A and B are shown apart, each in its own frame.
Chain A
């Protein structure tokens, strides 16, 4: 198992896969978070009843397997609508909405955790809705939401392993390419698992640290 045909070149190939994993994750989490914040604020402002259609739409992304979301979106866009887009675009789009669906709930929870009397105080000092949101609600809601958000971002990073289904050469896909050539599946998979672990673990720990720190005050 330790005599391997793996070359530095192949390791670079894996690292490129890891880079693709991170790129897809970054784009999806970036767009998804922005959408999630917008949806979350809308959801909070409208209340449960008026935002029901939005809630239902977002809930779909949390209720069916990501793999099916990817296959369906790809089939729908390219085969039904006959629009030519790359697998990369489909992957980023689906993952972004998937992120937004979870992020929306995190944002709403964060806003709800800001005590009403603080918001009353800021409004009665003459601050506008936007100023209140930006200067009071956002900093306080962020403390509540950040640990869960970090968890979400890591979840999306791990789930991005599934975008192989739309032919995006991410970490797991590149690992399989090497497996096909080198035929050393276990060794390569352990390296692949290590890549994931090394990206995820420190960030997860940092999230746990933030949670601990902020829950004390």
Chain B
């Protein structure tokens, strides 16, 4: 019989691309004064939809819900700063990285922590299910001292940090800078870069959708090639160089 239509065909046929985007994660995703979705990931989804010749639909999704909502068919792709872990790749399909985060150690000033090692034995926390949460929880286990707390969202983490409930957190440099800058969380500061492999994040779709994965890989390549990647970086993150998406010494 005729080859079954795949997701790529479905999207083009339906005329809409549904993206799961995390909206409590500025500057990647947040809401403007009218509570409309904005951010790097929102623009990225719009670009992807434009490349496909369809319209984008942003579906707000919490960090822990990103993959479940994909699996359940509520969205077509996740444009949600999803770290490309091998554990996840058992369940879903990952593109090559479309962004890379460097992480910062953010501390409450009263804690007296000045570097990454200073977190040992302290109460630390991060947003449940994120790359840095998994890393930090691993660290706490490795140290064998202190306590790790996974909060439901990024706002709660900084609130807890500012109240002194947490001594330190690790979050992406972008998020940390944005939150320190608002001044809404007095008494917190960035003290160091976390000594971890940059958090490479990928676009995600169903494991078996090779057509769509292939399309998106090329799309990411084109974003860099055309300068759009750098443009979005300047727009949402600030002056400077966006992270290099290639890893020296190995092909994807």
**A residues neighboring B (CB under 8 Å):** 7, 9-10, 13, 74-75, 77-79, 82, 84, 87, 165, 167, 169, 176-185
CB of B34 within 8 A of chain A?
A: yes
Q: A13-B35, A184-B184 are in contact. Are A179 and B155 (CB under 8 A)?
A: yes
CB of B223 within 8 A of chain A?
A: no
Write out the residue numbers on chain B whose beta carbons fall within 8 Å of the beta carbon of A84: 73-74
Interchain nearest-CB distance for A68 vs B (Å): 14
Write out the residue numbers on chain A whose beta carbons fall within 8 Å of the beta carbon of B60: 167, 169, 177
Question: Across the interface, do A180 and B71 meet the contact criterion of CB distance under 8 Å?
Answer: no
Q: Which of B28-71 contact A (CB under 8 A)?
A: 30-31, 33-35, 59-62, 65, 68-69, 71
Interchain nearest-CB distance for B228 vs A (Å): 26
Question: Across the interface, do A10 and B61 meet the contact criterion of CB distance under 8 Å?
Answer: no
- For A178, the closest partner residue in chain B by CB is B35
Question: Across the interface, do A177 and B35 meet the contact criterion of CB distance under 8 Å?
Answer: yes
- In the assembled complex, the Cα of A87 lies from the Cα of B34 at a distance in Å of 23
- In the assembled complex, the Cα of A100 lies from the Cα of B62 at a distance in Å of 30
- In the assembled complex, the Cα of A179 lies from the Cα of B179 at a distance in Å of 12
Write out the residue numbers on chain B whose beta carbons fall within 8 Å of the beta carbon of A10: 35
When the two chains form the complex, which single residue of B23, B61, B69, B185 contacts A180, counting CB atoms closer than 8 Å? B23
- In the assembled complex, the Cα of A178 lies from the Cα of B24 at a distance in Å of 9
Interface residues on B, range: 20 to 34
- In the assembled complex, the Cα of A181 lies from the Cα of B34 at a distance in Å of 11
- In the assembled complex, the Cα of A27 lies from the Cα of B72 at a distance in Å of 24
Q: Which of B137-174 contact A (CB under 8 A)?
A: 153-156, 158-159
Question: Across the interface, do B154 and A180 meet the contact criterion of CB distance under 8 Å?
Answer: yes
Which 10 pairs of residues, A with B, have the shortest CB-CB distance? Answer: A78-B72, A183-B184, A180-B24, A79-B72, A180-B155, A79-B71, A13-B35, A185-B159, A179-B155, A181-B31
Write out the residue numbers on chain B whose beta carbons fall within 8 Å of the beta carbon of A176: 24, 153, 155
Interchain nearest-CB distance for A166 vs B (Å): 9
Interchain nearest-CB distance for B166 vs A (Å): 14
- In the assembled complex, the Cα of A167 lies from the Cα of B153 at a distance in Å of 14
- In the assembled complex, the Cα of A185 lies from the Cα of B179 at a distance in Å of 14
Question: Across the interface, do B155 and A185 meet the contact criterion of CB distance under 8 Å?
Answer: yes
Question: Across the interface, do B31 and A183 meet the contact criterion of CB distance under 8 Å?
Answer: no
When the two chains form the complex, which single residue of B59, B61, B73, B153 contacts A78, counting CB atoms closer than 8 Å? B73
Instruction: Give the dominant DSSP class at A's interface.
Output: helix
18 contacts between A and B (CB under 8 A): A7-B33, A9-B34, A9-B35, A74-B68, A75-B72, A77-B72, A79-B72, A84-B73, A165-B65, A167-B61, A167-B69, A167-B74, A169-B60, A177-B31, A177-B35, A180-B154, A181-B35, A183-B159
- In the assembled complex, the Cα of A178 lies from the Cα of B31 at a distance in Å of 8
- In the assembled complex, the Cα of A84 lies from the Cα of B153 at a distance in Å of 27
Write out the residue numbers on chain B whose beta carbons fall within 8 Å of the beta carbon of A9: 33-35
CB of B226 within 8 A of chain A?
A: no
- In the assembled complex, the Cα of A75 lies from the Cα of B64 at a distance in Å of 14
Write out the residue numbers on chain B whose beta carbons fall within 8 Å of the beta carbon of A181: 30-31, 35
CB 8 Å contact bits of B197-231 with A (1 = contact, 0 = none): 00000000000000000000000000000000000
Question: Across the interface, do A82 and B73 meet the contact criterion of CB distance under 8 Å?
Answer: yes
Question: Across the interface, do B155 and A183 meet the contact criterion of CB distance under 8 Å?
Answer: yes
- In the assembled complex, the Cα of A77 lies from the Cα of B71 at a distance in Å of 11
- In the assembled complex, the Cα of A172 lies from the Cα of B33 at a distance in Å of 18
- In the assembled complex, the Cα of A182 lies from the Cα of B62 at a distance in Å of 18
Interchain nearest-CB distance for A81 vs B (Å): 10
- In the assembled complex, the Cα of A140 lies from the Cα of B59 at a distance in Å of 48
- For A186, the closest partner residue in chain B by CB is B159
- In the assembled complex, the Cα of A74 lies from the Cα of B72 at a distance in Å of 8
- In the assembled complex, the Cα of A183 lies from the Cα of B31 at a distance in Å of 12
- In the assembled complex, the Cα of A46 lies from the Cα of B87 at a distance in Å of 52
Question: Across the interface, do B24 and A177 meet the contact criterion of CB distance under 8 Å?
Answer: yes
Interchain nearest-CB distance for A35 vs B (Å): 25
CB 8 Å contact bits of B72-104 with A (1 = contact, 0 = none): 111000000000000000000000000000000
Q: Which of B33, B35, B154 has the most CB of A within 10 A?
A: B35
